[in-house]
Structure 1
Amino acid sequence: MLSLLRRRPGAQEPAAVSPVENPHDSQGDSATLREAVRSISGRASSMGREAAEVRGVIDDTTQSAQRSAEAVLALARRVQEITESQQAIGQVTQESLGAVERARGAVEGVGQEVVAIVSTLRQVADAAGGITQIALQTRLVAFNASVEAKRAGEAGRGFGVVADAVKDLAGKVEASSKQIMSTVAELNARIESLAAEIRAEPGQAAQGAFHRALGEVQAGVARINTAADGSRAICGDLGERMAGIEREIAGTGAALDVAMKRSESFLRVSEQLIETVSQCGIETEDTPYIQAAQHAAAQISQLLENALRTGVATAADLFDEAYQPISGSNPAQHTTRFVGLADRLFPQVQEHALTISPKVVYCIAVDRNGYVATHNQKYCQPQRAGDVVWNTANSRWRRIFNDRTGLASARNERPFLLQTYRRDMGGGNFIIMKEAAAPIVVNGRHWGGLRLAFQF
């Protein structure tokens, strides 16, 4: 009956026992077999629960690794942007250093011009000094001429007038020359001060204020450039480290994928063992829920066939898979052409199934894609805007559950399917449960499945 109960190869055959000699052995063997089957069922159920827990933890870890990989990738992009910015800063600082050098050269050129101006002003001052000496001499000659004119009397009067005029003119020339010399001296002092500001003396520590300012700018730009170089080096090292982290995360993701596949195999073995035990004809703790799921699936099938027969709905309506998104829903909800029919027909079957046992969590009819037109009444609450955690737990209708368990139940065409899985209740809350599923067939066409979930 069960491979686990079969005789091991090479084991010695037990001695045949006559039914007449042992009238109670048949009943005893049957009771032992039933007890063994129930024990296997219980162990398989426990194994399935552990497998579902492990699979759930692996799934959580995989999602966490994916989020970490996305975060590292985003950080790597930011580091790359910073590196590019630092490179731009380095380029600008190099250009700034070049500009400072050009300014320094220009100032030195101005300094040379100033030196030339100072030399010219000195020449002007010397010329003014010469004019002043000539004026003094002219005044002296004019004075002597005036004295001689007075001695000559009436004959020298005209000459005396000329001499006086020459003396006055010489005085004015002297005064103008002195004023020129004063102005040149003042201008020379100012130009000397300017020359001191912009003078650059090679090999001397003391430089002009302008060159000191240029030197400070140059030093500041150099420090910025050095800092940018250091930052680029740090970013480069950080980029290499993040690349290593990305590789490690990718390796972890690959390992988790392998672990997930193996956990899937482990879980399938557990489910197949539970199904095999359930098919052996001996009632187990899962039998009532399997029978309830099959009975509810038959009722849904009958209701849908009646709707087609009476013209309440068409086959095109019933098998409509053009799901229309409901705007603003989160998690996403959809509508189809058979939602109204489902709202009218399904609750009478689904709500009654909840009364089978306190362990029953939900009973829903889904189409082949895992779409839930209408859920149990307690899970058909209108969504709350911005409250995705509450919506996930309480607004489970009009949604598509196309995860591993959902699609397996929706597309199962065997008499029944028994699965163990972890259900997301929202807000990081999960519960481990079993699910018995039976196919819903409408006029010979597979429509979906009846999902009945119950706790351990």
Structure 2
Amino acid sequence: MASNDQQEAITDIAGRIGDLSISFAGVSGNIEDTSVQVKRQSELFQDIATRAKDMTDATSTVLNSAQKALQTSADAENTAQQSQQNVSEMVTSVGGLIDDVRRMAEQLSRLEESLALVGRFSSEIDAISRKTNLLSLNAAIEAARAGEHGRGFMIVAKEVKDLSGLTSEATSEISDTLEKLGKELMAVKTETTSALEKAGGIRTQIDLVGSLIEQMPVVMSDLNTAQREIVSASSKTDNDISEIQTRIIEMSSGMSQSSSNLAEAGNQMREIIESSEAIIGMTSRLGVETVDTPFIRAVQDLAKRIGERFETGVRLGEIGLHELFDTNHKPIPGSDPVQYMTRFVRFTDAVLPEFQEPMLLFSDRVVFCACVDKKGFLPTHNDKFSMPQVAGQPEWNAANSRNRRIFNDRVGLAAGNSERPFLLQAYRRDMGNGRFALMKDLSAPIFVEGRHWGGVRLAYHV
């Protein structure tokens, strides 16, 4: 049997191990927080890397499109220059055509004057013809009076009369022809005048088109210059983004490795914590008194009494054994954070408060006392943590409505699944608003008719 000095040494060692366990729990919590943050950052970098790749692809597409646009604008510039030449030639041709129409109008005017002059000559000839006819008639009369001596003169008078008749007929036909030509000439002149007016409008439009066409090569040249600048900028952007993508991938790889290293460090810290907790448990089971011994005895006694009360409930028909071991956790609609129901919740709500509530007075260090099944489901919490949820207030609910919740973290699952006489764990409890408190979680298994139901948890300040 160990001497008092040995027991004190063991107690001191156990205390030191307990302090280390608490310190390790704090460090482990910090590692876990950092690991979570690094993991999120790693995921963020991976997302950024993906987006950077998408940007690189998009920039490459833009660069290709800009290069094609540059080639197109160059072709358009050449086409514009050719079009300018063609349009200039067309403008010259149209201008010549307009000048031809104007000259035609002038010639028609001169023709009209010539026809008018011919008409006057025809009128004069007709007057002469009438005078000649009158003279031939007078000559015929005088020849008749002269008798045989005037027969030769009669023949001449007749020939003159016949010539006068032919001349009259000719001048009549000429007058008719001139009248028809005048009408046709007037129609042609009217159409020519209209064409000349339209030609004037066409010249104005052609001059405007020519001016615009002359500007096209300048505009296309400016566009070509802008396209070259876009291609240059796109090429530089493509190179910059590719370099950024490479660096992001390197950083993402480094973050992933850091996250993996932190996760491994967290696992190692948890192993150290579990080892220190096992040592503390062994010292307690060896009968060495520690600061946790009163809590251990109280929790073990409480677990035993709760198991007996569950068996009494089954025996009295308050609940069936199958219902008590129900593992079908059904989410409660609208709850946030999610709460669950099983077929034993109403029973535990009725019987557990008389066991759990008094433990809050066991020590001023006690924070809560509650039972969990093997899945970490906590059906019935202390009254102060069992407030009805408030819609739209998930943070408040998380702090004040902790009943009917599943706490399947390392500590919660270990407390529900451990079949050791007791399990002492150290952990950080989230107090909200980024605040944490180092806690001890002491649990003991609950057995009902030889079956392991879960455990009772007693959490208290260090």
Query: Which secondary structure does the structure 1 equivalent of 2:421 belong to?
Result: coil
Shift of 1:78: 3.4
- 1:48-127 → structure 2 map (5 Å cutoff): 48-90=21-63, 93=66, 96=69, 100=73, 105=79, 108-109=82-83, 112=86, 115-116=89-90, 118-119=92-93, 121-123=95-97, 125-126=99-100
CA contact (8 A) 1:128 1:180 kept: no
C-alpha separation in 1, matches of 2:461 and 2:306: 23
Summarize the Cα distance change of 1:30–1:141 in structure 2 as closer, same or farther, 3 Å threshold.
closer
Query: Deviations 1:158-187 (Å, cap 9, x if unpaired)?
Result: 749749869968996789868866764664
**Structure of higher CA gyration radius:** 2
Residue of structure 1 in register with 2:394 after alignment: 388
What aligned pairs does 1:325-340 form with structure 2 within 5 A after superposition? 325-340=331-346
Equivalent residue, structure 1, for 2:368: 362
C-alpha separation in 2, matches of 1:148 and 1:441: 148
Name the structure 2 match of 1:404: 410
User: Aligned AA for 2:451?
Assistant: R
Map of 1:11 onto structure 2:
none
Within 1, Cα distance between the matches of 2:181 and 2:453?
134
Whose helix proportion is higher, 1 or 2?
2
Following superposition, the deviation at residue 309 of structure 1 comes to 0.6
| Further displaced range: 123-132 or 161-170 | 161-170
Q: Which amino acid aligns with 2:210?
A: A
Partner of 1:30: 3
Give the alignment's TM-score, normalised by structure 1: 0.80
1:322 and 1:336 in contact (8 A); partners too:
yes
Is the contact between residue 132 and residue 174 of structure 1 (CA under 8 Å) also seen in structure 2?
no
Structure 1 range deviating more: 414-423 or 183-192 = 183-192
Q: Deviations over 1:269-314 (max 9, x none)?
A: 2212211221221322111100010011011101100011111111
1:275 aligns with 2:281: yes
Find the counterpart in structure 1 of residue 142 from structure 2: none
Q: Bigger CA drift: 303-312 or 424-433?
A: 424-433
Q: Is the 8 A contact 2:415 2:444 kept in 1?
A: yes
2:381 counterpart SS class: coil
Deviates further, 426-435 or 89-98: 89-98
Distance 2:15 2:311 in 1: 38
Q: In the TM superposition, what whole-angstrom CA distance separates every residue of 1:168-209 from its partner, at most 9, and x where no partner exists? A: 6899678986886676466445424422421xxxxxxxxx12
The separation in 2 between residues aligned to 1:170 and 1:324, in whole angstroms, is 107
Q: What are the within-5 Å matches in structure 2 for residues 294-373 of structure 1? A: 294-373=300-379
- CA distance in structure 1 between the partners assigned to 2:448 and 2:126 by the alignment: 158
What SS is found at the alignment partner of 1:285?
coil
SS in 2 for 1:244: helix
| Equivalent position to 2:17, from 36, 39, 44 | 44
Change (3 A) 1:451 1:131: closer
Letter in 1 for 2:330: Q
The answer as to whether partners of 1:139 and 1:171 remain within 8 angstroms in 2 is no
Match of 1:143 in 2: 117
Q: In the superposition, relative to structure 1, how do residues 140 and 167 fare at CA in structure 2: closer, same or farther (>3 Å)?
A: farther
Q: Residue 115 of structure 2 contacts residue 182 of structure 2 at CA under 8 Å; is this kept in 1?
A: no
2:214 equivalent to 1:191: no
CA distance in 2, matches of 1:182, 1:416: 115
Question: Secondary structure at 1:447's aligned position in 2?
Answer: strand
In the alignment, which residue of structure 1 is the partner of 2:103? 129
Q: Which runs of 5+ in 1 are unaligned?
A: 2-28, 199-207
CA contact (8 A) 2:59 2:234 kept: yes
RMSD of aligned alpha carbons: 3.3
Q: Give the superposition deviation at 1:426.
A: 2.6
Structure number with higher relative contact order (C-alpha < 8 Å, ≥ 6 residues apart):
2
In the alignment, is the contact (CA less than 8 A) between 1:297 and 1:438 conserved in 2? Answer: yes
Q: 1:402, CA displacement in angstroms?
A: 1.3
Report the CA distance shift for 1:371/1:114 in structure 2 as closer, same or farther (over 3 A).
Answer: same
What secondary structure sits across from 2:388 in the alignment?
Answer: coil
The reply to whether residue 258 of structure 1 matches residue 264 of structure 2 is yes
Deviation at 1:328, TM superposition (A): 2.2
SS state at 1:452 partner: strand
TM-score by length of 2: 0.79
Q: Which amino acid aligns with 1:72?
A: F
Q: Percent identity?
A: 31
Contact 1:366 1:373 (C-alpha < 8 Å) held by counterparts: yes
Distance in 2, Cα, partners of 1:406 & 1:270: 18
Q: Distance in 2 between matches of 1:447 and 1:190?
A: 99
Instruction: Give unmatched runs, 5+ long, in structure 2.
Output: 130-166
**CA 1:146–1:59 in 2, change beyond 3 Å: closer, same or farther?**
same
Q: CA deviation at 1:31?
A: 2.6
1:114·1:191 contact (CA, 8 Å) conserved in 2? no
Residue range with higher mean Cα deviation, 381-390 or 442-451: 381-390
Task: Give the AA of the match of 1:358.
Answer: D
Matched residue type, 1:249: M
Residue aligned with 1:351, SS: helix
